[in-house]
Each structure stands twice: as structure tokens, then as C-alpha cells.
Structure 1
Amino acid sequence: MSNGKTRVPSGQKFRTEQGIAAIKDGIKQSHNSSSETFSPKPSWLRAKMPGGARFEAVRHNVKEHRLSTVCQESHCPNIGECWSNGTATIMLMGSVCTRACRFCAVDTGNPKGWLDVDEPENTAKSVELMGLRYIVLTSVDRDDLADSGAAHYAACVSAIKARTPQVIVEALTPDFDGVEEHIELVVDSGLQVFAQNIETVRRLTHPVRDKRAGYEKTLRVLLTPNSTVLTSSPKPVLWWA
């Protein structure tokens, strides 16, 4: 098993800096995945190499405050465009997810209750230093926690709004196992947008999503927030509450 300080190939087991056993990119190696080949992307689909003063400032702050970003963990090709325009997506509660959706590149494992107690304050400091106008907070699923991480998530939102009340906060959350009390805890933390990815159509939900997720569960989550918060599902349905 590799450690978290070396570059780990997709599908290989490794340990994070916190000692959590995980599978890199959440993909288990198989004959099909290891022998798969890819053609070059067409020119119109290729993103520009990230760079520039603002991009470097965001990258420096992410590293300094030990933050995880979905931009990096999901290998998003649009990272340069977003970071250079003052928009970032911070991934809360670590970089290891307890679920293993087939389309997702986030590492999979069991954090066994681990949380970074300094994350709310570090996240708030980083948002302030980066001068962000709009921040998206997402997170891994944390089925290992009694509240699925709702209290920690809410603490991060509250810390950001306390330092930079002018920043618009969007919470692109996990489903918190559909527990209304936990969802409302996050919704009432001071955010402006509550979002939940439905990912795909009902028919394809369980072939591509983890068995603990659900099409109907996601719809119930989206219907929970009160009327003062914009509620949306970026993929593929938009809901207004």
C-alpha cells in the first residue's frame, strides 16, 4: 500500500496523510480499466494551461491552509478559468469519500470519524485572503459520522460568513442520508444557495451511483430547505424553493 506522499496510480490502495486507507480516484483496478486506451481530445475541447497571478494566489492559499478542492480532486479541466476569475469549490471533511460512485474520481475509503477541527477557521481565512466573490462548498460523503458531517459543514459556512459576510456561499452538499434535521442544520447556517446533484435519470441511478444514494432521496433533500434559500440541482434538474 502506497503512502500519501508519492503519486499514486488510479485504483491503487494507499494511505492519506491522516493514515486513512483509501482507493485512489475511487476506481478499483480491473483488466478492462488497466488496458483501456484513450484518443487525444479535439482542440476545441482542450482547456488552457492554468496560470496567472490570481490562479497562483488561490493555489498558494489552498496549500497553506491544507484545504481540499473538488477542482483538484476531480481533475476538473476548468480549474484555471474558475480560479483566475475568483471562483473556487472547496471540498470539506477531507478528500476520502465513504461512497464509490462509478463516475467520480474522488478517493474512496472509511475515514473512521476523522475530521479536521481547524477546517472551519482555515476555510474562512482562505476565502478572505483569496478575495473570492462566490464560494462553492462541497464535500465528500461521510456515512461514518452520526450526522453525516452536517454540524461540521454548517460550522464552515458560519465561519465564512462571520469573516466575509459579502461572499455568496453555495453549499453543494451530500444527501446527509436524507435526514431532514441534518439538512436544515446546514440550510440555516447562513448560505445563499443549497444544491444537491441528482447526477442522472432515475433509470441509471443505481448503475452509476453508490447504492446508498437514490433518485427519490435526492429529490426529498432538495424539497427540504425553506423559501429563503435558492435550491438547485446542477445535474440535470433545476429546482426553485
Structure 2
Amino acid sequence: MAKQDVYIRKPEWLKTRINTNKSYQGLKKLMRDKKLNTVCEEARCPNIHECWSERKTATFMILGDTCTRGCRFCAVKTGLPNELDWGEPFRVAESVAIMGLKHVVVTAVARDDLNDGGAAVFAETVRAIRRENPGCTIEILPSDMKGDYESLHTLMDSKPDIFNHNIETVRRLTKRVRARAMYDRSLQLLQRVKEIAPKTPTKSSIMVGLGEEKEEIVQAMDDLLAHDVDIMTIGQYLQPTKKHLKVERYYHPDEFAELKEIALNKGFRHCEAGPLVRSSYHADEQVSQASAQRRINYMKGYEEQSDKKIDFTLEAINKN
């Protein structure tokens, strides 16, 4: 077997069981009925049940299911996207209400075919969620929109609670890992958000296991801090198919704990690091104090109106 065909066996701490219980099936049916996509499903996230059912958070993927870029780590399909769906923002907002979410992350496929990169639909989705779910906090995770700052203003006018944009990997590996993306352009985007909305927490994420060195990870931390990023997440890269980049190394949980400690000591306000950590993992804990209080006040009123837990079974979803 040629060296490039050798695949490293997953360690025990990365082996998870997929739970397709009635709750999962009901939520999946809701997404299909509303013609919506979630990264939770597309990426087969191992944290899907904890986030959807226990923490009441979810990550919606808008602007269709087809990306104009072909990043070598990502399983989302690439091609020519469909026309914009202006009914999508309302369907996302409606689903957030049905699921009773307290925090929602809205991401999107890259839409380089659009002049604004999809910013207008993105912004309308944030507004629709807030209209229908005033107590829900909102995090956005857009593409770099080709560095167009007018589009960024359009997006930030919707006043999200957190702005997230991932650098994905260290500087040296960016060209190999990300398609049409630039390390410095991503950093500049994060910096510009702070100029537009100084009080909005900014966030970024990297995957490890792609061949980076520890010193490069630490440098990425310094680069993010130099551009006023508040929150960092670090997770293990997992190869989605044999066509994607292979895993060069699996990091032990102790190594993630060390990276988290380094990040916090350097000055990040919050850091999540672990083998199964993804960009939106425990995202509900990372909003600003003001946003969190708004959510808490609303949820208290919501819970006083009903002492029932939201039922995600197929029977309950069918009633909606």
C-alpha cells in the first residue's frame, strides 16, 4: 500500500454511536418539511442530540445546500447553486419557534455567484428569527463574502449576538485546505466587525490534525488576538470521505486541554477545545452578558407559561 493511501485508525475517544431515536427522527422530519438544511446533519455532528434536545441550540445552513467553493475538508456539495429562496428566513424562524431554541447559529454555503455573497438573505434570516423568537440569541457564521465590506455592513445591520468566521487552519496550510479563501482576508473580516460593532463578540475556529505544528497553532491564536477576536474553538479534523484530505494525526484530549489553557492564558475570553468540539459547540454560553440576560428573562416567561418539555417525536412534529 502506497504511503498516501495509509489511513490512521480512529482512537477510542473519537468513537461515537449515532443515535437515531424518535427525537432525532422527528427533528429530521421537521427540517425536511420546512425545506431547511442544518450543519448538524450535513456534517454528521456527534453533538447533535446534546445540542438539539438538551441545550436547545442548533445550526441552520441557509442559501441552499450547494457551495460555490470546494474546500478539501468539507463534505457540503459543490456546484452551481439554485436561485435565492426569500421564504427561507421565515421557515428558519418558524422552526426555531417549534423547537423552542434558546440559541441558534446561522451559517451558509459560500455564494460567490452573488454580488453580496448572500448577505441580504442572511440579514433577513436574523431579523425573522428575532421577530418570531425575541428571547433567542443568534450567532452568525458567514463566508468571507470575498472581502466585500459593504456586504458585511448589510449583515451586521441585523445585529447578531455573536459574529463567527473560521480561519479553519494555520496560515501555512490555508491554500491546501480552503478553496478561494485567504488567511489574512479572514482576519481582516473579523477585525472589521469590531470596527462596525465593538461590543459584538467575535469568534473563530481551527481544526487540528491536518499537518500543522504546535507553534503554528499558537501563532494562529496570536493572529486572532491581534485582530480583536474574543472566542476560539479548536477541534479534531475528521475526514468525511476518501476524496477529502486525510487525517495526519489525532490529538489526545490532554493535548486539547493544554491548547485551551494556552488560549485562555493568552487572553481569549472563552475557548472550547476537544476532539469533538465544533465551531458552534456550547455556543449558547458565549454570548455577551447583555444578550444572555435578554434570553434568560424571556425564557423565564416562556417556562412560566408551560411546564411541558418540547416533544420532538414524529407524532408531535406531525401536529405542527
Paired AA for residue 163 in structure 2? F
Shift of 1:105: 0.6
Residues 38, 77 of structure 1: alpha-carbon distance in 2 compared, 3 angstrom cutoff: farther
Paired AA for residue 180 in structure 1? Y
Residue from 59, 64, 72 that aligns with 1:89: 59
Q: 1: CA distance between counterparts of 2:118 and 2:61? A: 12
- Identity across aligned pairs (percent)? 42
Partner SS, residue 120 of structure 1: helix
2:182 matched to which residue of 1?
A: 214
Match status 1:63 vs 2:63 = no
Shift of 1:128: 0.6
Partner SS, residue 205 of structure 1: helix
Q: Any unmatched runs of 5+ in structure 1?
A: 1-31
Partner SS, residue 233 of structure 1: strand
Match status 1:187 vs 2:156 = yes
Shift of 1:99: 0.3
Q: Any unmatched runs of 5+ in structure 2?
A: 207-219, 232-320
2:192 matched to which residue of 1?
A: 224
Aligned counterparts, 1:194-209, within 5 A: 194-209=163-178
Paired AA for residue 199 in structure 2? T
Contact between 1:61 and 1:129, CA under 8 Å: does it hold in 2?
no
In terms of fraction of residues, the more helix-rich structure is: 2
Q: Relative contact order: is structure 1 or structure 2 higher (C-alpha 8 Å, sep ≥ 6)?
A: 2
Shift of 1:233: 0.6
2:269 matched to which residue of 1?
A: none
Aligned counterparts, 1:38-117, within 5 A: 41-52=10-21, 54-85=23-54, 86-111=56-81, 114-117=83-86
Residue from 209, 216, 240 that aligns with 2:230: 240
Q: TM-score, with normalisation over the residues of structure 1?
A: 0.78
Residues 234, 50 of structure 1: alpha-carbon distance in 2 compared, 3 angstrom cutoff: same
Paired AA for residue 47 in structure 2? N
Q: 2: CA distance between counterparts of 1:61 and 1:190? A: 27
Contact between 1:68 and 1:94, CA under 8 Å: does it hold in 2?
yes
Question: Number of residues paired by the alignment?
Answer: 206
2:299 matched to which residue of 1?
A: none
Contact between 1:175 and 1:217, CA under 8 Å: does it hold in 2?
yes
Residue from 113, 131, 136 that aligns with 1:167: 136
Shift of 1:145: 0.7
Q: Which entry has the higher C-alpha Rg, 1 or 2? A: 2
Q: TM-score, with normalisation over the residues of structure 2?
A: 0.60
